[in-house]
């Protein structure tokens, strides 16, 4: 068993902690900033924001993305909106309500003091994004429009139809390109991080693969920021782009960075169900649809009649029945679990009986088709393209799908990991969301990290290193990192088996959905751990990677990512098995009361942070969680 982790949070009331910490940060003279080099890996909202802000401040920034342009980072896939506690609506919202909703929504397994920073900076984030060109929806009088999202009873979500992530990403990428033009940021596209360069216990750079030429190169810096997104694609069928992966953060974990709450995986309740086994992924439909859509299943198990032929008296609007106070806007973990229960009990709908209905009939009758089209038209169009069905005429079919990872590299209040010089931003971190992220807090947390936190915290780390130089390109540390990376690629190429990496990825996803999915138990987790170990052994015995490592080779890229998934998957299950309670999206079947999650605050009011041992085992450290302003209570959305 490991030790107790110090979050290095300010010794101040939580509602003033961020203000106090900013006053205490060490500063770097503007004339000295050009002497420091910072590497930022990833160009989503967190990475683009951090690189653009650090470049604007005058630091030397090297920005990497495996996309062909920074605007294609996966933040574009977010649809519904971005939260902000602006207190300018008439429904009695406030900063304290935002914090309460975030902490309660995460089932009291996040860091409360971080939630205050999220709330405080949210008011600046929306103004900033609006200023750099994000086309937010507006009311008739010109003020920014808001709508509701799951887990809250106020309207605090700012949006750009159903493509908010895309519009915010475009604005942030433009800000990044401005710094590229100014010469403060060097942008390298089509590069994937393969390893960290370690200078003792400090991070001194990264090893990258050029995805066009296959070249492996080293890049050194005074500090490294990872903003590489979440690891939900480990489930194979997920809402994430197929290239999204865990390799950057897992390599950090292999070098000693602690990994927090790896089993806290959010399953989005409005993903599209898989219609046939050949599908390679599922598709996200915005949670904003639950503002006007009603979720239901037939009351009779196995009822395969067309949805419109099922009379009102034979429909079970189960979320409205079970959670009348929140209805269809219950938090994602609650809605996903309820849908899973309906599907498993035989009430599932669709060709594979693996979905539930999301019906807009009543909203169209009340508001008119034109209004619904204004709010969700692009989402309805996307649904029709994916399924061939018209949601204006028939209900959508939805189902829980692996989506967001609340877990990630453990970091302190300053977003620095347990490896000095290595920072995280966005979904690859962990602090804000606890065991369940509220809808529209994802875009917010990425922007708060990138634009308004990392520029302060990275400077605080750099200040005492003035006068030092990054590692030389021919230093022993750089040569060692390059040697490790090439040896790993050679090992994958040398196996010479019979199955490609996609085969093992698909099998791993099935194991995880069954064993560490929406509902887990000791039995399913122990079984999954055994099967993962067997699959990992088979992978290293029977993998086949065609081609070489000397040029473009997408099979080799995927093989490396799947190898990392097979190791991380075991840690996910070990963490879920270790945590003998239910909280948020971590629902252990043994720990429930009347179908609702049962926390154990006496034993488990802490964040688990796992260290990978030298023998491949896992050591659990922990950070106690304190709640000074939001009292520990049982979540109740009824």
Dump pLDDT digits (tens) for 522-537: 999 999 999 999 999 9
For residue 39, which of 65, 66, 64, 62 has the smallest C-alpha distance? 62
CA distance 303 to 345: 12
Alpha-carbon span 440 to 78, nearest angstrom: 9
Pairwise CA distance, residues 363 & 76, whole Å:
28
Q: State the pLDDT at residue 252.
A: 98
Q: Is 332 among the catalytic positions?
A: yes
Q: What is the pLDDT of residue 616?
A: 84
Which architecture does CATH list for 267-402?
Alpha-Beta Complex (3.90)
462 Cβ neighbours under 8 A, 6+ residues apart: 28, 36, 38, 222, 223
82: β partners: 158
Assigned CATH topology for domain 476-624: Methane Monooxygenase Hydroxylase; Chain G, domain 1 (1.20.58)
pLDDT of residue 595: 84
Task: Flag whether the pTM goes above 0.85.
Answer: yes
**Domain extents for the chain?**
267-402, 476-624
Identify the CA nearest to 79 among candidates 156, 149, 129, 143: 149
Catalytic residue among 86, 332, 561, 588: 332
* Distance in angstroms (rounded) separating the CA atoms of residues 581 and 599: 5
Residues of the chain with confidence (pLDDT) below 70: 88-90
Report pLDDT for 594.
86
Distance (Å, rounded) from C-alpha 386 to C-alpha 351?
14
Number of alpha carbons in the 13 Å side-chain half-sphere of residue 331? 27
Q: pLDDT tens digit string along 457-493?
A: 999 999 999 999 999 999 999 999 999 999 999 999 9
**Model pLDDT, residue 126:** 96
């Amino acid at each position: 068993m490991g030790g107790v982790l110090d979050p290095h949070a300010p010794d101040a009331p939580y509602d003033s902690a961020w203000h106090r910490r900013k006053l205490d940060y060490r500063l770097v003279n503007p004339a000295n900033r050009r002497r420091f080099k910072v590497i930022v890996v990833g160009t989503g909202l967190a990475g683009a924001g951090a690189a653009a802000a650090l470049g604007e401040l005058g630091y030397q920034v090297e920005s990497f993305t495996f996309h062909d342009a920074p605007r294609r980072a996966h933040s574009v896939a977010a649809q519904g909106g971005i939260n902000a506690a602006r207190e300018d609506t008439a429904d009695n919202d406030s900063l304290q309500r935002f914090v309460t909703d975030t902490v309660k929504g995460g089932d009291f397994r996040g860091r409360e003091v971080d939630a205050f920073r999220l709330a405080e900076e949210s008011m600046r984030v929306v103004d900033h994004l609006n200023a750099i060109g994000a086309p937010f929806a507006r009311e008739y009088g010109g003020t920014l429009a808001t709508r509701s999202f799951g887990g809250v009873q106020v309207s605090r979500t700012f949006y750009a139809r159903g493509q908010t992530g895309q519009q915010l990403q475009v604005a942030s990428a433009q800000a990044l390109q401005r710094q590229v033009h100014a010469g403060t940021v060097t942008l390298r596209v089509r590069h994937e991080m393969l390893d960290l360069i370690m200078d003792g216990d400090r991070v001194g750079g990264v090893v990258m693969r050029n995805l066009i030429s296959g070249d492996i190169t080293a890049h050194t810096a005074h500090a490294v920021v990872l903003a590489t997104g979440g690891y939900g694609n480990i489930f194979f069928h997920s809402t994430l782009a197929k290239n999204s992966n865990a390799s950057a953060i897992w390599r950090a974990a292999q070098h000693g960075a602690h990994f927090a709450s790896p089993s806290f995986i959010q399953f989005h309740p409005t993903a599209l169900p898989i219609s046939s086994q050949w599908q390679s992924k599922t598709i996200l439909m915005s949670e904003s649809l639950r503002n006007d859509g009603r979720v239901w299943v037939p009351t009779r198990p196995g009822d395969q009649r067309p949805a419109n032929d099922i009379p009102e008296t034979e429909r079970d609007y189960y979320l409205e029945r079970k959670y009348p106070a929140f209805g269809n806007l219950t938090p994602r973990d609650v809605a996903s679990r309820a849908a899973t229960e309906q599907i498993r009990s035989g009430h599932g709908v669709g060709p594979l009986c693996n979905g539930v209905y999301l019906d807009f009939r009543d909203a169209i009758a009340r508001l008119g088709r034109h209004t619904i089209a204004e709010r969700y038209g692009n989402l309805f169009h996307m649904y029709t393209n994916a399924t061939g069905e018209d949601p204006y005429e028939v209900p959508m079919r939805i189902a829980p799908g692996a989506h967001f990872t609340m877990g990630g590299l453990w970091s302190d209040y300053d977003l620095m990991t347990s490896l000095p010089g290595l920072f995280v931003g966005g979904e690859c971190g962990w602090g804000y969301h606890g065991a369940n992220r509220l809808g529209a807090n994802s875009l917010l947390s990425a922007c708060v990290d990138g634009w308004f936190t990392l520029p302060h915290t990275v400077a605080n780390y750099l200040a005492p290193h003035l006068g030092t130089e990054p590692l030389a390109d021919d230093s022993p540390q750089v040569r060692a990192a390059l040697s490790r990376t090439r040896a790993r690629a050679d090992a994958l190429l040398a196996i010479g088996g019979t199955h490609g990496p996609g085969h093992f990825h698909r099998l791993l996803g099935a194991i995880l959905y069954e064993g560490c999915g929406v509902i887990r138990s000791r039995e399913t987790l122990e079984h999954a751990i055994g099967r993962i170990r067997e699959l990992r052994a088979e992978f290293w015995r029977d993998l086949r990677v065609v081609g070489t490592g000397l040029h473009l080779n997408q099979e080799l890229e995927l093989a490396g990512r799947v190898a990392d998934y097979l190791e991380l998957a075991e840690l996910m299950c070990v963490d879920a098995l270790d945590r003998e309670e239910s909280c948020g999206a971590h629902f252990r079947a043994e720990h429930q009361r009347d179908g609702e999650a049962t926390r154990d605050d006496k034993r488990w009011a802490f964040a688990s942070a796992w260290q990978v041992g030298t023998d491949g085992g896992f050591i659990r450290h922990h950070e106690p969680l304190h709640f000074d302003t939001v009292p520990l209570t049982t979540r109740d959305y009824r």
